[in-house]
Structure formats: C-alpha cells, structure tokens
Amino acid sequence: MDPASPRGRPAPRTRGRRARSLPRRAGRRPAPGAGRYCRRPGTDQPRSLALRRPHRRAATPTAAAGAAARRGLRGRGRQCLANRRRGSDPRQDRHGLAVDAAGGRRTVNPGKVSAWREARWQVAGFLACAAALNYADRAALSAVLPALRSDFALTDVQLGLLGSIFLWAYALGSPFAGILADRWSRRALVVWSLALWSAVTALMGAASGFVALAILRGALGLAECLYLPAATALLADHHGPATRGRAMSLHSVGLNFGVVLGGAFAGYLAEHFGWRAGFWVLGLGGVGLALTARFFVTDGPAAQAQAARAAPRATVGEALRYLLRVPSYHVLLAKAMLAGVGVWVFLNWLPLYFREAFDLSLGAAGFAGTFMLQISTVLGIALGGWISDRAAARGAKQRLLVQGLSYLAAAPFLLLFLARPGFAGVTVAVSVFSLLRGVGQANENPALCELIPVQFRSTAIGVMNTCATAAGGVGVLLAGVLKRTLGLDAIFAGISVLFLLAGAALVAAYRFAAERDLARAAAASR
C-alpha cells in the first residue's frame, strides 16, 4: 500500500510520462492540479499517484492576508507586513495611522490605538495647565490695581486703559495667529507662545511706571494671542465628535481656573511681598512648563496625515471667503463680541468692586473677585461638556441650542445688582450667572469646529478671538469712563442685556442656518 496515496488506497501505476487524472467522484469536483502523478518529495522513487490537497480560497480580505502570511510573502510585501505588525512602517505616523500618499486613504494600526488614546488625553491635560497660566498671567493685573494706583498715582481711566491695551493687542494679533496655526505646526505655536508670554509676565514685575506697564501689556497680548487658535485646533485634531466636548471643557476649566489662580495668588503675594512678586513667580513657572512640553504635546493625527500626503495648504483668501459664506459663524462672532464685553468687564473690575464696596483686603478682594466668578463657571463648563456631547449625539446643531438657552437663562440674575445687594446677594447673582454661562461656554468651540472644516478652523478661531477681545477692550475702557457717574452696580446689571441678545441670536442660528452650514462643512472636509 502506497503511503503517499489518500486514505491508504493503492495508487494506480502508469507507463507513460504524462500523468492521467483519477476518475471524478460524484458530487465533488477536484481542484486544478489534483490527482496528477508527481515525484514523491525527497526521494528518487518512480512517480506515483498522489493527490494534492485542494487550495481553499480565502473568503474575506482578512483571511486572504492571513493565508498569504502563512505561505510567506517575498520581498517588499513581507517587509511591509512585518513593519505594520511592529508599528514601524514609515508610511505610518506616530499614532498608528497608515497613510497612502496617492489616494489619501488611512487605516488604523490596532497595536497603537490604545497608545494614541492615552496620548490625546495627555495633550488635553497639558493644554489645560497652559491655559490656566494663560489666564492667570493676564488676570494678575486686576488683582493688584489698588497697589498700582497708589504706587504710580493712576486714575480709573488709566487703570481701564491697561486692560484695554492688552485686549486690543490680543485682538490685533489673533487673525494672524489663526492663519499661522493653519499653516505651521500647532504644537510649536503653543510651546513658543507659552514661553514668550511667560517671559513678558516676568518682565512686568520690573516695570517702572504706567508707560512701561502699557508697553508690556501690549506685548503680553501679542504673545498670548498665538496660543488659543493653535490649542483649540490641536484639541480638535486629537479628539473626534465623541470626546471633543469633554476635551474642550477640560481646557476651558483650565482657562477659568487660571483667572482664580492669577487673581488670588497675585493678590496674596502683593499683600505680603509687594505687587511685583506675583508676576515673577507666574512668569518663571510658565517658562518651566514650556520646557516640559516635548514630553506631552504632539501634533494631531489629522495634521500628520495631511503632512504625509503633502497636501497644499488653504490660502488666506480661501479661508476668508469660506467664512463669509457661513451664517452660523457670523452669529458666533456677534455672540463672542456681546459676551466678550460682559466677561472682560467682570474680570477687570470685579476685584476692585469688592475692594471698594465691602472694604476687603487686596488678597481677599482678588480671591473673591475671581473665585466667585470662576468656580461656578468651572462647574458649569464641566457639566456643559457632558451635556454638549449628549446633545450632539442627536445632531451637531444641538450645541448651538444648548448655548443659546443657557445664556437666556443666565442673563436675568445680573439684574440683582440694581438692588445694590450685600455680599450674599452679589454671591448668589454672580455664582448662578457664571454657572449657566459656563454650561453655554462649553458648547462654543465644539460647535465652531463642526461648523468649519478642519483646514479653516484656526483662522476662524483667530477671527473670533479678535472680535471678542476688541469688543472687550472697548467695554473695559467704557466701564472705566462710566464708573464715576453710573457706578459698577449699574454697569454689571447692564451686562444682562448683552447676554439676552447673544442667546436669542444663537437660537435663531440653530433654527434657520445651522443644518445647512454643517452640511457645507462636511462636504468641504472631504
């Protein structure tokens, strides 16, 4: 019995050099090449009849790839397969996204998905810390206004002008910062901005008068304006719609915590060590944080894929022409200006209001004027990020509705200032207003990033920052002019009208324009 024959049957012999096939069995068709005579491997025996095992074709591409790997690929194909398993394919970025330079198709390396998910939250955490320093450095001045007024003999108009100069410089540089963030490495802009504004903050501690302070405040605005467009777009690159609201809420929590840190910390140091000490400590801390950025911050997968495809960048004209055709974005700009006036008036004048109205110390006034305003905003943003992602699951335009309703609900609480309440009444009015405003604020950047295609996002954020800070600068200066005649109570109550208008505009955009603008953005991103 021939051991090479199937099932132990005797293999038939033949005298010809050509092999003849075995008879077909009913109900089964042999595969090509089955049943031919072939030399038994590793022997010099005469040819015997041996059936080759029929080759099974893979039913799916995955099975086909596995079968090819088992058979052994040759040359470049085998090397590419090994590289992909190790995650070292040069066509992959560091987040495991394999890029086809010709067709722009991307596939995910499963071996790196978990590492990328961890890295994107490291980026969000670092940016939240940088955002805290961003707002702490700009808010530190408001906590030491009484000390500056006594040291340099400044008037209320000059104090208001110091706040306005920062905002106008910030507004002037924001469009260019957005354009740069759409063309250069967003990671690099974040790190350089952090280092520059921290150095300027440290220099403010050496200012010798009003002119030096005004120049350094303008330089601080130019340095800080580079940060927010790049950081917001970087978060959008790392986080998709499912986590974008929470990631940006974490970043907004850092911004608002920074106001408390700057006000309370600078006020405490001013009371015990002089007003210059707060600027030195905050400035050196920011430089130290910038030195650690290389361990935590990377450009997002979308930016890396675009660089790998060597796609041409959008021009400034293309970006501006697109933004002019998006009505929902125009509403966001109007809302940013209206809300910006109110927010910056509060940030600049509320600590001084507590100092004058309730005779608090510098440290207590700086803490109350920032903590009371921002702790409720932080809680509202944390809640609003969760609400934003839940609402967006039913449609991205729901973010506009949530923001609009939150502003409409927040506005009436500021009218309590008309009754000239005591400390408890001011606490209730400011806290509830800030909580509801924070719920709405958590929807702002996620909504913008979904209304605007990825290639224009940083430019859109830069233009919006320009509108918000320019309007805020006008509001801060106007509040300084009207403070003597109207009083800060009436000024704070008037902010409620601005938020009513902003909320109504957002609801109108949700009802009439958002759906069409979202479809246009989705088409432009393809």
Q: Convert the pLDDT of each residue in 347-363 to its tens digit.
A: 888 888 988 888 888 77
In this predicted structure, the answer to whether residue 257 has a pLDDT above a threshold of 70 is yes
Which position has the higher pLDDT, 148 or 117?
148
In this predicted structure, the answer to whether residue 24 has a pLDDT above a threshold of 60 is no
Backbone CA torsion sign across 354, 350, 500, 377: negative
In this predicted structure, the answer to whether residue 111 has a pLDDT above a threshold of 50 is no
Give the CATH number of the domain where residue 449 resides. 1.20.1250.20
Q: What pTM does this model have?
A: 0.64
Q: CA 178, CA 171: separation in Å to the nearest integer?
A: 11
In a domain, 86, yes or no: no
Tell me the two tokens of residue 216: 């350094």
In this predicted structure, the answer to whether residue 515 has a pLDDT above a threshold of 50 is yes
Q: CA 325, CA 318: separation in Å to the nearest integer?
A: 11
Q: How confident is the model at residue 10 (pLDDT cuts 50, 70, 90)?
A: low
Q: What pLDDT shows up at residue 200?
A: 95
Tell me the two tokens of residue 29: 């068709």
Q: Convert the pLDDT of each residue in 442-480 to its tens digit.
A: 899 889 989 998 888 888 988 998 899 889 989 988 998
Q: How confident is the model at residue 93 (pLDDT cuts 50, 70, 90)?
A: very low
In a domain, 57, yes or no: no
434, 347 in Cβ contact below 8 A?
no
In a domain, 326, yes or no: yes
Share of the chain above pLDDT 70, in %: 75
Q: CA 235, CA 354: separation in Å to the nearest integer?
A: 36
Which position has the higher pLDDT, 469 or 83?
469
Specify the range with the lowest mean pLDDT, choosing from 166-170, 200-204, 308-312, 380-384. Answer: 308-312
User: In terms of residue numbers, what domain contains 346?
Assistant: 120-525
> Rounded to the nearest 5°, which phi and psi values hold at 486?
-95, -35
In a domain, 314, yes or no: yes
In a domain, 197, yes or no: yes
Q: What pLDDT shows up at residue 484?
A: 85
In a domain, 323, yes or no: yes
Q: Convert the pLDDT of each residue in 42-81 to its tens digit.
A: 544 444 444 444 444 444 444 544 454 444 444 444 444 4
Residues facing 92 on adjacent strands:
98
Q: What pLDDT shows up at residue 236?
A: 83
Structurally, the chain folds into a number of domains equal to: 1
In a domain, 454, yes or no: yes
In a domain, 172, yes or no: yes
